[in-house]
Structure 1
Amino acid sequence: MWSNEQIAAMSKPAIVSREEWDKAWLEMLGKEKEHTRARDALAAARRRMPWLAVEKEYVFESGDGKKSLLDLFEGRRQLIVYRAFFDSGVYGFPDHACVGCSLGADQVSHLSHLHERDTTLAYASRGTQEQLANLKNRMGWQHIPWYTIVDDFDKDFGVDEWHGHNVFIRDENDKIFRTYFINVRGDEAMGTVWSYLDATPLGRQEDWEDSPAGYPQTPRYKWWRWHDAYGNEDRKWSKVVDDAATRNLR
């Protein structure tokens, strides 16, 4: 923690009246709205990125045997694979993974919302499944699927020397394509439902988004649920969702 002496030595902003503060905040709000629109435009551009066919077969180890890259989708349409560093060459091993990767894992939100948007998140490292099981229990990461890399997946997808998120989609024939890649400073913003979906080729799949023709879209807010309530479509729930959507769209 910073000491009082360090705080006192800071070059602090001006102290202003409430009216002046409100004016300054409104100016910043305009800049934030520009930032939001730019972020939406970036996500729209990501949805128009060309696709790269994945031609090689990759194998991962899991808690219940070997898995292919297709298996990692868990039957969903989209897959995000984060390459975390957890092996003998990483400081803190075997009790801890890379500090930065660990901070990222701590940010991962409840995955049911991604699953509702047909998207799976997985972590992959060089640690064994036994080591990963101990790590997940120690760090509280049981909700994140962790796989062991045993071939050239990390090298082939640019994450053999540094962390990163690779994004994939499977088509109607289960052909897999690489659609996007986020690494370095881009990784620090990942962890929320929206940061993950904005990186995918289908996006948030909401009807306000600028997406190519034919992309799946539903009204905003209406697909949201408590994380333990997906699949509950009774009349009472539908009215709750309709009322909430009406309030938020005003």
Structure 2
Amino acid sequence: MTSHTTGTRDQWLAARLDLLKAEKEHTRRADELAQRRQALPWVRVEKHYRFDTDEGLATLADLFRGRSQLLVYHFMFGPDYKAGCVSCSAVADGFAGNVTHLANHDVTLAAVSRAPLAKLQAYKRRTGWTFPWASSHGGDFNFDFNVSFTEEQQRTGAIEYNYAVGEHAMDAATQVPPPVSDNAIMCGTDVATYARDRPGLSAFVLEDGVVYHTYSTYARGLDGLWGMFQWLDRAPKGRNEQNVWWRRRDEYAQAGAR
């Protein structure tokens, strides 16, 4: 017999209606937060960034692909990774359909990583992804937007991530939670190397030939992009997890998953 609370249909409906009030408040609050994001001041991007893409060398303005808005997912794939981050891969699995809808609403969705373009292209072939994915290898883009860090920053703790300095520094001597070490192993690298890249999302707008940075979010700020978690949050047992249970889509069979 289940250990979960049970009740009559009338009891369930009363509890559900009470929850509905909270859900509606949450929705209204989310709408307000979206408006506040859009009201943030725009910051002109002065630096001239260069990216390697499937179409050749590109500027940040080129990544817009003729549209006025650009959403960049900072995908964790460092130059020394053997494969893309398994968590970022789970997020990116949800991009396919959204890319088309966004493109028809004047928004380009693209990923950017520090790994060389050839590595990104090989990984795209493995996963079957078709969304734009640019390499910032050798450039400052990832560092300037606080999703990549040097070994020296790591050693000294001078890492600014998610708008805090020093809280997220991880090197070879740091005790790290299993999700981080598990992800490092699945990327074919060590924790210190893995942790020199972090996930994030940055938004840009292009007006009169000028690119402006409008928004960036990191860590749990990316939660809404994990499509599978939005479904799990509505499943009877929720996320029901302790450590990293997810895999790349082509790895579930070999892991013996149901």
TM-score, with length taken from structure 2? 0.65
Once the two structures are TM-superposed, the CA of residue 190 in structure 1 deviates from its matched residue by 1.5
Matched, 1:99 2:99: no
- Partners of 2:136 and 2:121 in 1: how far apart? 15
Matched, 1:40 2:76: no
Secondary structure of 1:168 counterpart: strand
1:135 counterpart residue number = 123
Secondary structure of 1:47 counterpart: helix
Secondary structure of 1:134 counterpart: helix
The code of the aligned residue for 1:112 comes to T
Q: Residue 47 and residue 72 in structure 1: after superposition, are their counterparts in 2 closer, same or farther (change >3 A)?
A: same
2:213 counterpart residue number = 178
The code of the aligned residue for 1:75 comes to G
- Partners of 2:212 and 2:55 in 1: how far apart? 25
Matched, 1:167 2:181: no
Once the two structures are TM-superposed, the CA of residue 89 in structure 1 deviates from its matched residue by 3.5
Q: Is the 8 A contact 1:108 1:191 kept in 2?
A: no
Once the two structures are TM-superposed, the CA of residue 113 in structure 1 deviates from its matched residue by 1.1
Once the two structures are TM-superposed, the CA of residue 185 in structure 1 deviates from its matched residue by 0.8
Q: Deviations over 1:132-162 (max 9, x none)?
A: 12111211212x1111103100111111132
In structure 2, which of residues 124, 143, 163 is the aligned counterpart of residue 155 of structure 1?
143
Secondary structure of 1:61 counterpart: strand
Aligned residues: 178
- Partners of 2:135 and 2:33 in 1: how far apart? 32
In structure 2, which of residues 1, 14, 17 is the aligned counterpart of residue 23 of structure 1?
14
- Partners of 2:56 and 2:73 in 1: how far apart? 20
Once the two structures are TM-superposed, the CA of residue 63 in structure 1 deviates from its matched residue by 1.4
The code of the aligned residue for 1:178 comes to H
In structure 1, which of residues 44, 60, 66 is the aligned counterpart of residue 57 of structure 2?
66
Secondary structure of 2:204 counterpart: strand
Once the two structures are TM-superposed, the CA of residue 174 in structure 1 deviates from its matched residue by 1.3
Once the two structures are TM-superposed, the CA of residue 13 in structure 1 deviates from its matched residue by 3.1
Written as runs of structure 1 = structure 2, the 5 A alignment for 1:1-250 is: 12-90=3-81, 93=82, 96-110=83-97, 111-142=99-130, 144-150=131-137, 151-160=139-148, 161-171=197-207, 173-190=208-225
The code of the aligned residue for 2:87 comes to G
Q: Is the 8 A contact 2:110 2:133 kept in 1?
A: yes
- Partners of 1:141 and 1:69 in 2: how far apart? 21
- Unpaired runs of 5+ in structure 1? 1-7, 196-250
Q: Is the 8 A contact 2:114 2:142 kept in 1?
A: no
Q: Deviations over 1:42-71 (max 9, x none)?
A: 001111101111001000001121000000
Q: Deviations over 1:78-118 (max 9, x none)?
A: 0011111223443xx1xx31122111111224112111210
Once the two structures are TM-superposed, the CA of residue 29 in structure 1 deviates from its matched residue by 0.8
The code of the aligned residue for 2:214 comes to T
- Partners of 1:191 and 1:146 in 2: how far apart? 18
- Partners of 1:88 and 1:73 in 2: how far apart? 24
TM-score, with length taken from structure 1? 0.67
Q: Is the 8 A contact 2:96 2:129 kept in 1?
A: no
The code of the aligned residue for 1:169 comes to V
Q: Which has the larger radius of gyration?
A: 1
Q: Residue 40 and residue 109 in structure 1: after superposition, are their counterparts in 2 closer, same or farther (change >3 A)?
A: farther
- Unpaired runs of 5+ in structure 2? 149-196, 231-258
Task: State the Cα RMSD in Å.
Answer: 1.8
